């Protein structure tokens, strides 16, 4: 069973750094298999909780080589919710790669699980050495529904989102409805018509500091030598 790995996160950093340097991207050091995937970029500001800077992926299985190559840049530069990540932000970034697995059709809009677990671990940034909490969820979900104007809508949240935000199940589902673009009233009878596909994910998170350490150790070079931050 393939799991998200540090090599996948390294490859995403390689792609983003090469976008600004023009350097040749080293070949990926993981299996060329197919999975639905997401790439998430967050930025650490003043040693606080990382803030989302971009998250885009696909619910369809993609070759991991081309999938991570595409979505590392798409999530960093073309997430319409945010301005494109600038080169000066790279030292403060962390990258999470997610592989989506175990798709199941839920029996109702409440038939999914989330857990809130705080895991304290060292987190090293360029300026700070601090500890932070991570949030782990069991199920992500794909919401599909037909709005009152007979327009089909859909949206998804990765497994960690509901737990990280501290939402209840109803708050999570209602937030997904808004993410899908429907701004009308949300009633209980409306929710009962929703189609929910739940899934799980294998994920790996790497800070830029850990990326630099990995590249220096594995390749004997500083990936930032030609990067003008």
Q: Look at residue 27 in the predicted model and tell me its pLDDT.
A: 96
Residues 66-86 pLDDT 10s: 999 999 999 999 999 999 999
**At residue 77, what are phi and psi to the nearest 5 degrees?**
-115, -20
Percent of the chain whose predicted confidence (pLDDT) is above 70:
88
> In whole angstroms, what is the distance from residue 152 CA to residue 146 CA?
4
**At residue 35, what are phi and psi to the nearest 5 degrees?**
-150, 150
pTM of the predicted model over 0.85: no
Residues 165-217 pLDDT 10s: 889 999 999 999 999 999 999 999 999 999 999 999 999 999 999 999 999 99
> In whole angstroms, what is the distance from residue 84 CA to residue 105 CA?
35
Residues 134-153 pLDDT 10s: 444 689 999 999 999 999 99
Provide the greatest CA pair distance for the chain: 60
Which has more pLDDT, 173 or 129? 173
């Amino acid at each position: 069973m393939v799991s998200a790995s540090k090599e996948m996160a390294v490859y995403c950093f390689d792609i983003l750094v090469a976008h600004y340097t023009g350097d040749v991207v080293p070949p990926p050091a993981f299996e060329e298999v197919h999975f639905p995937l997401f790439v998430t970029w967050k930025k650490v500001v003043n040693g606080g909780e990382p803030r989302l800077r971009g998250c885009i992926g696909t619910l369809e299985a993609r070759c991991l080589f081309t999938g991570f190559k595409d979505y590392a840049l798409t999530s960093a530069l073309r997430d319409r919710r945010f301005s494109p990540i600038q080169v000066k932000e790279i030292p403060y970034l962390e990258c999470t790669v997610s592989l989506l697995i175990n798709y199941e059709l839920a029996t109702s809009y409440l038939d999914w699980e989330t857990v809130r677990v705080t895991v304290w671990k060292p987190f090293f940034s360029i300026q700070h050495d601090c500890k932070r909490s991570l949030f782990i969820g069991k199920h992500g979900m794909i919401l599909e529904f037909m709005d009152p104007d007979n327009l089909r809508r859909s949206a998804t949240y990765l497994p960690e989102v509901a737990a990280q935000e501290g939402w209840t199940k109803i708050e999570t589902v209602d937030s997904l409805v808004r993410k899908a673009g429907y701004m009308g009233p949300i009633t209980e009878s409306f929710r009962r018509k929703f189609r929910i596909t739940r899934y799980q994910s294998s994920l790996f998170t790497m800070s830029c500091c850990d990326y630099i350490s990995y590249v220096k150790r594995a390749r004997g070079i500083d990936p930032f030598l030609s990067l003008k931050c």
